[in-house]
Structure 1
Amino acid sequence: MAGHSKWANIQHRKGRQDAKRGKLWTKIIREVTVAARAGGPDPDSNPALRLAWDKAMAANMPKDNVQRAITRGAGGADGADYEEVRYEGYGIGGAAVVVDCMTDNRTRTVADVRHAFAKNGGNLGQEGSVAFMFKHCGQFIFAPGTAEDAVMEAALDAGADDVITDDEGVIEVTCAVPDYAAVRDAFEAAKLKPEIEGITMKPLNETDLEGDDAIRMQKLLDALDALDDVSEVYTTAVIDVA
């Protein structure tokens, strides 16, 4: 089915990310702060911070703003005490949903997340209810037509776990989280630019949705993503974008 084309869904996902980019500064600052607190202020030795830094640059955020967030996270300045919290639940058709948040008030955040699920046909689950359906890993996705041999050579030399090319020519590379920076550096050195990259929760199995179910699921995902405390939303749902 054309709408379930992996490449079409990747383009849809990237387009939605680009459309929201101008509204992401607050979320990115939180991500930078928490990453610096957890792994130190050096992006070269802290993959999560480097990813957050790159997101900030892509969103045209002033470097001074990012540096202040790093300093605050590393303990150089006072600020809100943000922490990472994960919520799990089910969407339309039983599709699994993982919601990663950064919050200074868990009571507020869980109430907002629960409301978004309930209002849009989903259900907030217990801790551990769906996380096992995902793999925490680094992910790089390359457009059809990218030189597969070059991608494979750079990826495997840098320690990637897997390189998969589908029938459309989409190349997906996955790696362990600690190896993310090394694999990314290898692609940069080889002048290979992925369409999408990041540390993600990759679904082990997928739930295809179309028609009204696809529309309802997208509304649920949008409602969760619009919450100020939500940093990332992951799902097993594959939404028909035809």
Structure 2
Amino acid sequence: MGRGPSIENRKNAEDARRGKVFTKLIREITIAARSGADPAGNARLRVAIDKALSANMSKDTIERAVKRGSGADGADNMQEIRYEGYGPSGVALIIDTMTDNPVRTVSDVRHALSKHGGNLGTSGSVAFQFQRIGELVFDTSAAGSEDRLLEVALDAGADDVQADGGRSTVLCAPDAFEAVKKALTGAGFEPLDADIVMRPDNRVAVSGDAEETLRDLLDWLEELDDVQEVYHNAALPPAQ
């Protein structure tokens, strides 16, 4: 009897997390579809749909989001806004949002930063420290898979492959992302994660209280309804 509420609470928490992920994916599809409802001619939409399918979103839900973004299913007043700022120990942050209320969003982001010893910067204040790049992560713990992935990735146009602890991260130009992903999946490699991201040129070390505060800040930002993605330049060790 004592296990019932615990299991129910875990399920509720998982449902809430899944709902938040779906909300962000739907927003991304909606915004991407503004540039065209046909994924064949809209690379951003193809990437967004792939992410949604990987998260087990239904095709009906995806189609409704595409229709909304393309204007075929009512008005869409969402805006994309990028905020730049600093967290504890001067960690650079890029916070990508989608919102129908920019006043609310900037207030929420500013509050989160100030609560954790950070501050909002001006446009361009940290973006120069990042590059927009395709990033695909694979499990290459099996014998021989690391070398095979490296060969396929470079042949497909990837710029670099970084291996560490049984995982390999493939980096490529955004316009090569789809070709690289297709070549790797065709060779039997299924990505653990694949997206076009803002990747820092260099990472700064954080530890102790600063690390704890930064993790709290990142969690806070990612919980905000309007926040889509948060990028930073901290060298954070894996959470225990």
Residue 7 of structure 2 is matched in structure 1 by: none
Aligned length: 224
In the alignment, is residue 137 of structure 1 matched against residue 118 of structure 2? no
- Displacement of 1:144: 4.2
Residue 153 of structure 2 is matched in structure 1 by: 155
- Displacement of 1:199: 0.7
Mark the structure with the bigger radius of gyration. Answer: 2
Residues of 1 paired with 2:68 and 2:20: CA distance? 22
Letter of the 1:90 counterpart: Y
Residue 14 of structure 1 is matched in structure 2 by: none
Give matches, 1:68-217, under 5 Å.
Answer: 68-145=64-141, 147-166=145-164, 168-217=165-214
In the alignment, is residue 224 of structure 1 matched against residue 215 of structure 2? no
Letter of the 1:163 counterpart: V
Of 20, 25, 41, which residue of structure 2 is paired with 1:23?
A: 20
- Contiguous gaps of at least 5 residues in structure 1: 1-18
Residue 12 of structure 2 is matched in structure 1 by: none
Letter of the 1:32 counterpart: I
Residues of 1 paired with 2:56 and 2:166: CA distance? 31
Residue 44 of structure 2 is matched in structure 1 by: 48
- Displacement of 1:70: 0.5
- Displacement of 1:34: 0.4
In the alignment, is residue 32 of structure 1 matched against residue 14 of structure 2? no
Asked if 1 retains the 8 angstrom alpha-carbon contact of 2:140 and 2:146, the reply is: no
Residues of 1 paired with 2:52 and 2:162: CA distance? 29
Q: Percent identity?
A: 49
- Displacement of 1:190: 0.4
Letter of the 1:225 counterpart: E
Residues of 1 paired with 2:55 and 2:139: CA distance? 22
Residues of 2 paired with 1:45 and 1:186: CA distance? 19
Q: CA RMSD in A?
A: 2.1
- Displacement of 1:169: 4.8
Letter of the 1:96 counterpart: A
- Divergent runs of 4+, >4 A: none
Residues of 1 paired with 2:20 and 2:110: CA distance? 23
Asked if 1 retains the 8 angstrom alpha-carbon contact of 2:131 and 2:200, the reply is: yes
Residues of 2 paired with 1:48 and 1:127: CA distance? 23
- Displacement of 1:238: 2.2
Deviations 1:147-174 (A, max 9, x none): 23321222222221222334x3532211
Residues of 1 paired with 2:52 and 2:75: CA distance? 19
Residue 10 of structure 1 is matched in structure 2 by: none
Asked if 2 retains the 8 angstrom alpha-carbon contact of 1:121 and 1:220, the reply is: no
- Displacement of 1:22: 4.0
Letter of the 1:132 counterpart: F
Asked if 1 retains the 8 angstrom alpha-carbon contact of 2:69 and 2:76, the reply is: no
Tell me: higher relative CO, structure 1 or 2? Use CA pairs within 8 A at least 6 residues apart: 1
Residue 3 of structure 1 is matched in structure 2 by: none
TM-score, L = length of structure 1: 0.85
